[in-house]
Structures are given as C-alpha cells and as structure tokens.
Structure 1
Amino acid sequence: MSLVIPLALKWIVDGPVADRDPAGVWLGGVVLLVLGCAEAALFGVRRLLLARPLARVEADMRAALYRHLQRLPVSFHDRWPSGQLLSRATGDLSLIRIFLSFPLVFLLVNAVTIAVGFVVLIQQQWMLGLVLLAPVVPMIAVCSVFEERYSRKARTAQDQVGDLTTLMEESVLGIRIIKGFGRHRGQEGAFAALAGRLRATEMDKAGLLGALWALIITLPELAVGAALVLGVRQVADGALSAGTLVAFLSTALALRWPVESIGFLLAVTNDAATATDRFFEVMDARDPAASRAVASRAPAAAREGGLRLEGVEFRYPDAPADAPPVLRGVDLHIRTGETMALVGTTGSGKTTLTALIPRLHEATAGRITLDGAEITALPRERLRELVSVAFEEPTLFSATAGENVLMGAADAREAELLRALAVAQADFVHALPEGHRTQVGEQGLSLSGGQRQRLALARAVIGSPRFLVLDDPLSALDVHTEALVESALRDVLATTTALVVAHRPSTVLLADRVALLSGGCITAVGTHSELLGSSREYASLMSGPESEQEHRR
C-alpha cells in the first residue's frame, strides 16, 4: 500500500496539477487519504492477527522448557547454574517472542517492499533505478561482516546475563550468610564486576550497531541524492515528466525505512538466534538412561521381595575417565518389611546410593529391584509412587505447610495429613497463624531447620509408601524431639521396607540390620551389636558418649 501512494502522486502532478484542475487536486487528496487510512487499518489488522499466536508460541516454549527441566536427571541440574536456566526461561524466550512479533514480520514485509519498490523504480526510470541499486553490493558485504561479529557479542552478553542472575539468586537465598559474615561488600564487588563486564559487552554491541547504521543510512542517502540531481537535469531537458520524478523520489523515500531498518532488524535477529541456541542447548539435553534399552528380567515371582541392589556401580557423568567410581559392586538386600540402616564415613557415597533407588541418579552398572521388578522397567511415575524419600537437606517451597507435606501424596485427605504431621512431631504447624494453611515463605526460611526437617519427614511418610528412603532425617532435631520422632517412626517403619542413612547410634537403633558402606562397597551387614563386635570401622564410627549411652540401653 505504501508503494501505491507514489503512483497516486504521479497521477496528481502530471494530471490535475499540470492541467490546473482544482477539482482533480481535491479528488487526488481524497484518494491519498483513503490509501493512508487503508495502510493504517492493515497495520492494525496485522497486529491483531499476530498477537495471539505469537503469545501462544512463547507460552508453549516456556511450558516445554519447564517440563523438560523436570524430567532431566539430577546430574544435569548439578552441572548447570540455576541463573543460566532462569535467564533462558525468561529473558531468552522474551527475545524470541519479540523477534517473532516484530523483526520477523518486518524482515518479510520490508524485503517484499524493497523488491517490489525497485521494480517500480526501474519501470519508471531505469537509469535512476540503477543509481539507487548501486549501494546494494557494499551493504551486503557490510551486513555479513556485522552479523558474524555481532553474533559473538550477543552470545557473550546473554551468557553474562545468566551469570549475573545466578549471583543475584545466590545472594538473595544466602542473605543470612552474607550478613552474618559481613560479606556484603565482597558480594557488591563481585556483582559490580559482572555487571561491568556485561555493560562493556553491551557497549561493544552498541558500537557495532552504530557503525552499521551509519553505513546503511549514508550509502542509500548518497544514492538518493545522486538520483535527485540526475532526475532534475532530465526534467529540465524535457526527458522526464515532473510527475514521474515526484513518484520516483516518493517511492525512494517509501523505501527509506525498509532499508534503514536492516541494521536494527539484523541486530534483533542475531539476539533472537543466540537466544534460540541457548534455549535448545537445554532442550537438547537428554537423560542418558532414557536412551538405554531396558532388557527384560526374571519375573517378580522368581525373585525375593523387598529392595535388592546387585553389583551396583555409579560414576558421575562429568567425572574424569581415570577417576574411580563413587560406588562399585554394591550388593545389598533389604527384606520386605525390614528397616536397614546405612552408615559410613562422610563422602563414602551414602546419599548417592539412596538417590539411585528413586532414579534421581542412574546407576552406571548393576541392577536395583523392588519386589523383583527392576526399577528401570518401571515408569518413573509408578516408581516414585512406590518409593518415598526424605532428604538430608529439607527443601520446602513457597506454599503452605500443608501443601508442602501433600507433595508426598497429592490425593491424601485431611486425616492423613494430620497423621503425617503427628508422626513427624510437626505439631508446631497447628500453632502457626493459619495452621497448616500458613505460607512458609521461599525455601521455608520462616521456619527453623528442625521444623523444616520435620515437614520434609511428614512429606515422606504421608503416602504410606511401600519403600521408604530416609537420608539422615533427624540430624537437625534436638534430643527430646528426636526421641519423640523415633518413637512415632517405629510404627511407620513396621509397615514398610526402609533404608535409613544414619550418623548417630540413636538412628541406627531404629533399624533391624545395619549395612556399612566403605570404599564404595558394602563391607559389612549385621545388627548393631554384631557390627560393634566384628567391625573396627563400624565401632569407630559409632564411638563417642552418645554411642556408649545407646549401647548400655
């Protein structure tokens, strides 16, 4: 539509204006008004047509990223800083949406406008049209150089945004440590350094874009100036009508924005391309275990029930090739209804072993079975219905106390929630302003460490799971509360098959048998009393005043 207006101008100048026809001039004005209104209306229609589907694209991509992050193994999240993932889920997807809604549309519209416009120009006056086409070759060369250099800067800037987001998130979550140790100035310095590097990168981007715009604007303006001089001479010589020259220059000016916008559109396109690369870096990450075929095993009836680990080995994916595995040749059988305590020195791999059972990590060798069924043959949803876990670090979410507990069994009723709170000795919840409907804040930091640990324990036991994995669940409790929790836990453990990581004798005494993990292997299995007499390492681990008191009991 913008290219039709110059043709209307040509008709007005060569017709009513040349003929001194006022009525024709008024008619021409009405035609130009109608064409301008039509252009504006079509612009609005385009925006309306694009808004909904493009917003849907961004929402779908963000939802797909979130779903994918939930399905990736814990080892992936251990390697990736949370700020990098957050920047991809927010800033990068916003850049992609902006590209789809504005630059992509104008790249198409402007390309068509420029192509059709130059055809119109050459049809009107081919010599002047060729003058305007002269800057095309140098502009292509400049744009190709710009694109390569700008892409590198765009990637650097977006990675720096991710690093800055990570630092900001860690500073907010660790504000108590920062204040407690007076490290706020050090954190400010680290933040200023990262922000300074990001600013320098953005200034480099601005310099590249400024140089490109200067060239893109200058070259076409010189061409328009040369065409104007030549056109005026031809009009003076009678070789060209005034209307044709007006139409030619109007068409050239109509092409001014499409040409000059190339620099801006290329910059946003490069930002969006980099954002897309960063988005698919995460989306292309795969769970290594998901691609491994699951071989059929012996039927459940042919094997003993309970939890069994056979020749289990684990090595972290990013570990050096010559590094020994964290776990090697682990063999352990926990009979149905039995509670097994797992003990070992710090760093012996106890937490890693417990993470293999619900497949938070994938064993690199060996097999793990639940009542004879190999866990790799079970859908993850079913596996995590069978196995409930309480981690040593009690993670809570920005939700109510009750909602945090119900994450262990979303369909549990009020009575089951209250029972789980009672088992975990989490009766403090009833004293909160709104009971179990009280918001506990981000990370549950409005609660003490012991309170968070009790809520995490309630979350583990609420669903009455067939298999229960507890990673030192009582470490943050005082002696009195620990005794109460142990007493209530005995009833829960009597109805399930459990593996309990223990560091204290009081926790060990909850178990029927004890397994000692040393050097990545299970080196001894027996009752607490048996191992005290037969294993010097176990006796050393259990030594101390608390151990002596428990042993006398």
Structure 2
Amino acid sequence: MIPDSTDKPEPPARRHALSSLWRLRSYLRPYRYRMLAMLLLAGASTAASLLVPRMIQSVIDGPIAGGDLTGLWLFGLAVGVLGIAEGVTIWLRRYIQARVALSLEADMRTDLYAHMQRLHAGFHDRWQTGQLLARATSDLGSMRRFLAWGLIFGLMSIVTYVAVVVQLLFMHLWLGLVVAASAVPLFIVARNFARNFIKASRNVQDQQGEVAAIAEQAAQGIRVIKAFGRSPHMQAKFDAEAGTLRDLSIGKLNISARSWSLFTVIPNATLAVVLVGGAAAVASETLTLGALVAFVTLQLMLIWPIEALGWIIANGNEAMTAADRVKDVFDTEPAITDRPSAVPVDRAKSKGLVRFEKVTFTYEETGTPVLKDVDLEVRPGETLAIAGATGSGKTTLVSLIPRLYDVSSGRITIDGVDIRDITLASLRTVVSTAFEDPTLFSMSVRENLTLGRSDATDADIEEALSVAQADFVHELPFGLDTRVGEQGLSLSGGQRQRLALARAVLVRPAVLVLDDPLSALDVHTEELVERALASVLTGTTALLVVHRPSTVALADRVALLADGGIAAIGTHSELLESTPAYAAVLSAESEEVNA
C-alpha cells in the first residue's frame, strides 16, 4: 500500500535498495553487446589520453632538451592523431550510450505500465495516481541515467584511476605513493556520502510523488475547487508539500555540496604536494623535467574522475532508491489472474445465465464483510435490478461479475462455469459494464466508443448512440473524431454517461452490468434511453443497480440488498406489497434525487 502524506515509509536500507537495482539487471541483457562495445570504446579513448603525457615527456626530454627541433612536428602529428582517435571513440560511445539509455527506459516503462494494467482495481484504489506517475517518469529516468551512463562512467573512472596511479608509481615511487594514499580519505568521504545520500534521496523522491499527487488531484478536481472557493486552501496545501520538497532537496544538496567540496580539495591538495616534491626531485636530478610535466599531466587526469565520483555516487544512490520504489509496484502480484486451467468462452454461445453461490466479499482495508453468503440467480435474457440503501454493497456486487474484484469465498458462474475458470480477456467480452461515474479518455469520441470493440462498424456505432440518446456527438466540431479532453470534462455529466452507456451497449455482451448509468440524465432523456434500452436488453442478461426509482421500470425482477445479503427478491409490485424495507429504500432514493 502506498503511504499518504501522514504515513511515509522509512527510507530503504542501502543493501535493500542495491538489491532492487540488481534485480533489474535483466533489462541490460538485450543490450549486453552494445554495453561491451561502449566499454571497449571507453577503454580505447582512455588509452589514447594516457599516451599523450608520456609523449609530452619524450618531447621535453628529447628534442626540446637537446635543442633538436627537426622531429618536433612528428610528435605534434602523433598527438593530433591521438586526439582525433579519442574524439571519434568518445562520439561513438556517447551515440551508443544514448540509444541504449533511451531503449532501457522505454523497456522498463512499457513493462511497468503493462504490470499496472494487470493489477486489480483494489491496488489502484489504494495507490495515489501521482505516486505511480512519479515512478513511471522521474524514477525510471534516474535508473536510466545510472544504468546507461553512471555505470559506464563509474567503471571507466576506476580503470582510469588505477592505470594512472600504476604509471605514476613507475615514474616516481614516493610521489606515486602520495597520490595513491589520497585514495584513503576519498574512500572515507565516498562511504559517508553514500550512506547519508541514499536516505535523503528516498525522502526527496517520495515527496516528489506527494507533490505530483496533489497537482494531479487539483487538475482533475479544478471545477470542484473553484465551485467551493477552495483555491486558497488547495494552494496552501500545495505550498506546504512543495516547501517540504524544497527543504528535503536543499538537505540533499547540502550533503552533495559537502562531499563534492572534499572530492575537489583532496586531489588539489595532493597536487600541491606533488608539485613541491616534484620540483625538489627535478632540482636533485632524480626526476627529469619532462617526467615531472608528464607526472603532473597524468595526475590532472585524475581530477575529473574524482570529481565525477560524487556525481556517480549520487546518481547511483538515486537509481537504487528509484529501483526500490519501482520494485514496490513490480513486487505487487496481480491478485486477479487467469487460473492455469482457465479457458476462453465463445461470446456467441454464451446464454448469460448468472449465478451467485454463497458469495462473500471483504475489502482488505476494512476487514468487514460487505457481502455475506449471497445466493442469486439471473436468468438468461432477464433484467434484474439491484436495490438497496446507500453503502449496502450494490456496486460491489455487480463489480464481481467482470472480476474487477474477486470473491472472498463462494463463486459466481456464467452458464454454469466459474468465472475464475474463464480467461479474463474473454470474460470481459461476455460481460460489459457502464458505471455511474463514467471515465472517458483524452481521445476522440470514436476511440472512446470502440474501446471495448475495435471492429465496430459505423452502423454499429450509430445504433449504440441511438440507444444511449447520444446523437449530440454529431453536433460536436469534428463529430465522432472530436477529442473529448481529459476525463471527458469538456462534456456535461449527462453526455459523459450517455457515451459510457453507448460504449457498453456497443460490445453487445451476453451480460450487461449497468451501475445506474442514467443518474445524470433529465427525466425526458431518461425516458427515451429506457425505451431504447428495453429493446436492446431483450435477449441480454442485465444487472441494473438502481439509485433512482424510475429506473426500476427496466427490470423484470428486483433484488433488495440489505445487511450484506439478499433480503427479498421479486417483481417491483410484489416487493412493494410484501417488503416495507423495499418501499423505504425507494422512498429514500426518490428524496435524494428530488433534493
């Protein structure tokens, strides 16, 4: 479960975060040969750069010291060739790195999105959208930068450091030992930096998710915020979270600044010692001037890897904490999956006989059963209305049929087959759902309508629009090709409901679940839709959640849901006569609608 702003987790231990990053190494396998090519190219460019100081030594101690400048141009040409070779290898390496980096990120993002699609509705009920967005964007970006850039730079920095120190030891043992000894304080600084930075990095990344969540909620609920005049309140809430993010980020940067300053001071202090000692060695003729210049030039080549060490450690720690956050999602196993024995069903052969057999359902968060031992049968072609007081579990009951949630015990069958023995893909072609709060995507009207049936013809679409009384789409600027905007908020509530109803009808399911999809319609439009639906429902098994009494007219029978079970079932007239609780529910619903 993702924490909210009042329940934030402790940052992961370094070993745990490193393990999460290591478990994602499989993404590198398809690119292992390109990664090897990058390493070889990096090695070639490093080798070329290491040759230059020794060539400078040869020039100073040879032609320049001897006053013979006739061959000097050959050395210049050689250095130029090495420079060109180094430039070409760097360009090739960076080109390959860029392609590998972006491909890695795309692979991880594709798999993360696919995994989130497999997770059941309960997972998405608990997780903040902003937290998921942060994991799919900034966290994956951090991992990409390290796996394709930081990892290579880190390896090459180590290789460069070792190669340079070995050469320095051969050139002058004591000065080389001074440079080698500087690795000890650098290691201590790097260890402390990594230990502190990983905690700060996780806190910042979690807080980025909080800020993204508030921004996303504000964007979706902008009409409510404006309607209630709560812009100052929401602004204050956002400012508080953004301020916390700022403070955490400053704290993280302070850790980086202290460490990076030491990464700069230590090699520069070492260089000062080398210059003094080297000058003394030249004066005592134990070191040539060319050797001192080459020694210092080689030592200067260590400054960038040492300074880059801070960036590499920071990047690596961010990647580890990002990997840990992404693994939070990957490690969540889909709770609703196909059984090994699940088989597809033929929609054309499905009769639509639905049975609930001792069905019990409990939400994980509450632990209290919402439904208890529900027994219910909906005959093929029958329209059954589900009535009940607010919070009685009507929506939960019908959400179990397409397996948006799975029963806690008991079973639901369609044509005698347990729905868990039917593949999810085929089950959701047999069962179609229209929700009270419709979701439309930022795409064209046509794409929204054909979401559940991509092969629908124009005639099929027109028929569904007619049933849902959604002919208004032809008056939109581009007709069916008009984009409805995010969440379909460019349309009215009634228009969104009618499009959602048309989308469900277009599938032509054997079982149609309607969770009060007419609640936002005016009385006249509702009557027209009900008349059209009556003809469509002939031959289709339908479960209709009732929130307004007028909708009961569509039903052949009505089931009253109370205390988690079916309290009564019969026709509308029968229940009015025999069940006072049913009349009370209808009366309460009528008062809510007219209020």
Same fold (TM over 0.5): yes
Residue 27 of structure 1 and its aligned partner are, at CA, apart by 2.1
Give distance in 1, aligned partners of 2:180 and 2:469. Answer: 81
| Secondary structure class of the residue paired with 2:337 | helix
1:536 offset after TM fit, Å?
1.6
Alignment correspondent of 1:127: 174
Structure 1's consecutive aligned runs of 4 or more residues displaced over 6 angstroms after TM superposition are 291-296, 544-547
- The structure 1 residue matched to 2:528, chosen from 484, 493, 498, is 484
SS at match of 1:290: coil
1:545–1:459 CA distance, 2 compared to 1 (3 A): closer
Secondary structure of the corresponding residue to residue 542 of structure 1:
helix
* Residue 88 (structure 2) aligned to one of 38, 41, 46: 41
Q: 2:439 aligns with which of 378, 386, 395?
A: 395
CA shift, 1:507, in A, is 1.2
User: Does 1:375 pair with 2:422?
Assistant: no
1:421 aligns with 2:465: yes
* Cα distance between partner residues in 2 of 1:418 and 1:289: 34
CA distance in 1, matches of 2:527, 2:336: 41
Q: Is the 8 A contact 1:12 1:24 kept in 2?
A: no
Stretch of structure 1 that moved more, 435-444 or 80-89: 435-444
Which stretches in structure 2 are left out of the alignment for 5+ residues? 1-47, 344-349
Corresponding residue number in structure 2 for 1:445: 489
CA offsets per residue over residues 396-451 of structure 1, 9 Å max, x none? 11122222111131111000000000001111112222222222111111111111
- Which amino acid letter does the alignment assign opposite residue 395 of structure 2? T
| Structure 1: runs of 5+ lacking an equivalent | 297-302, 548-553
- 1:526 matched residue in structure 2: 570
Whether 1:356 aligns to 2:400 is: yes
Partners of 1:519 and 1:404 in 2: how far apart? Answer: 37
Task: State the aligned residue count.
Answer: 538
Contact 2:440/2:496 (8 A) holds in 1: yes
**Tell me, what secondary structure is at the counterpart of 1:3?**
helix
In 2: Cα distance, 1:140 partner to 1:309 partner? 66
Amino acid across the alignment from 2:483: Q
TM-superposed CA distance for 1:393, in Å, is 0.3
> Is the aligned partner of 1:25 residue 2:69?
no
Contact 1:408 1:461 in 2 (8 A): no
Contact (CA 8 Å) 1:294, 1:376: kept in 2 or not?
A: no
Query: Structure 1 residues 545 and 325 mapped into 2: Cα distance closer, same or farther (>3 Å)?
Result: closer
Say if 1:417 and 1:462, in contact at 8 Å, map to a contact too: yes
Name the counterpart of 1:514: 558
Which of these residues, 78, 81, 86, is aligned with residue 125 of structure 2? 78
Give the match for residue 542 of structure 2: 498
Residue in structure 2 matched with residue 318 of structure 1 by the alignment: 365
Contact conserved, 2:549 with 2:589, CA < 8 A, in 1? no
Identity rate of aligned residues, in percent?
A: 49
Q: When the two structures are superposed, what TM-score results if normalisation uses the length of structure 1?
A: 0.94
SS of structure 2 residue aligned to 1:421: helix
Look up the match of 2:147.
100
The structure 2 residue matched to 1:231, chosen from 260, 269, 278, is 278
Question: Secondary structure in 2 aligned to 1:412?
Answer: coil
Contact 2:338 2:421 in 1 (8 A): no
Alignment-derived partner of residue 10 in structure 1 = 57
Q: Is the alpha carbon distance of 1:196 and 1:544 closer, same or farther for their aligned partners in structure 2, counting shifts above 3 Å? A: closer
- Asked whether the 8 Å contact 2:225–2:231 carries over to 1, the reply is yes
| Partner in structure 2 of residue 342 of structure 1 | 386
Letter matched to residue 150 of structure 1: F
Q: Does 1:328 align with 2:372?
A: yes
Query: Could you tell me which amino acid in structure 2 is paired with residue 514 of structure 1?
Result: V
Following superposition, the deviation at residue 228 of structure 1 comes to 2.0
Distance 2:229 2:175 in 1: 72
Correspondences of 1:141-540 after superposition (within 5 Å): 141-290=188-337, 306-319=353-366, 323-540=367-584
Looking at structure 2, the residues matched to 291 and 383 of structure 1 have their Cα atoms a distance apart, in angstroms, of 10
CA distance in 2, matches of 1:545, 1:30: 91
Name the aligned partner's letter for residue 289 of structure 2: A
CA distance in 2, matches of 1:230, 1:185: 66
Deviations 1:289-311 (A, max 9, x none): 43977699xxxxxx996001111
User: Offset of 1:317 from its aligned partner?
Assistant: 2.2
Question: Is the contact between residue 96 and residue 275 of structure 1 (CA under 8 Å) also seen in structure 2?
Answer: yes
**Distance apart, 1:12 and its partner CA:** 0.8
Report Cα offsets for 1:310-364 as digits up to 9, x if no partner.
1111111233xxx421111111110111111101110111111111111111111
**1:314 corresponds to which letter in structure 2?**
F
Q: What does the per-residue CA deviation read over 1:457-497, in whole Å, with 9 as the maximum and x for residues that have no partner? A: 00111121101000011111111111111101111111201
Closer, same or farther in 2 for the Cα pair 1:149/1:45, shift >3 Å? Answer: same
Tell me if the contact between 1:103 and 1:268 (Cα under 8 Å) persists in the aligned partners.
yes
Please state if 1:64 is matched with 2:111: yes
The answer (yes or no) to whether the contact 2:201–2:318 under 8 Å persists in 1 is yes
What letter corresponds to residue 184 of structure 1 in structure 2? S
CA distance in structure 1 between the partners assigned to 2:488 and 2:96 by the alignment = 44
Partner letter of residue 20 of structure 1?
G
**Superposed displacement of residue 162, structure 1:** 0.9
Conserved 8 A contact 1:409-1:462: yes
Distance in 2 of aligned mates of 1:484 and 1:291 = 40
Q: Give CA deviations for 1:253-285 in whole Å, capped at 9, x if unaligned.
A: 111111121111111111122112111211221
Cα deviation, residue 25, structure 1: 2.5
Q: Give the whole-Å Cα distance in 2 for the aligned partners of 1:261 and 1:431.
A: 60
Letter in 1 for 2:209: G
Confirm or deny: 8 A CA contact 2:451 2:503 kept in the other structure. Answer: yes
- The DSSP-based 3-state class of the residue aligned with 1:102 is helix
**In 2: Cα distance, 1:380 partner to 1:398 partner:** 25
**CA–CA distance in 2 between the matches of 1:209 and 1:523?**
65
**Are 2:445 and 2:480, in contact at CA under 8 Å, matched by a contact in 1?**
yes
Larger displacement relative to structure 2 (117-126 or 30-39) = 30-39
SS of the aligned residue for 2:233 comes to: helix
Distance 1:61 1:223 in 2: 43
Say which SS state the counterpart of residue 243 (structure 2) adopts.
helix
SS at match of 1:261: helix
Q: Pick one of 126, 135, 139 that aligns with 1:88.
A: 135
Aligned with 2:71: secondary structure? helix
Describe the SS at the equivalent of 1:524: strand
Match of 2:39 in 1: none
Q: 1:527 to 1:225 in 2, by over 3 A?
A: same
Partners in 2 of 1:403 and 1:263 — Cα distance? 49
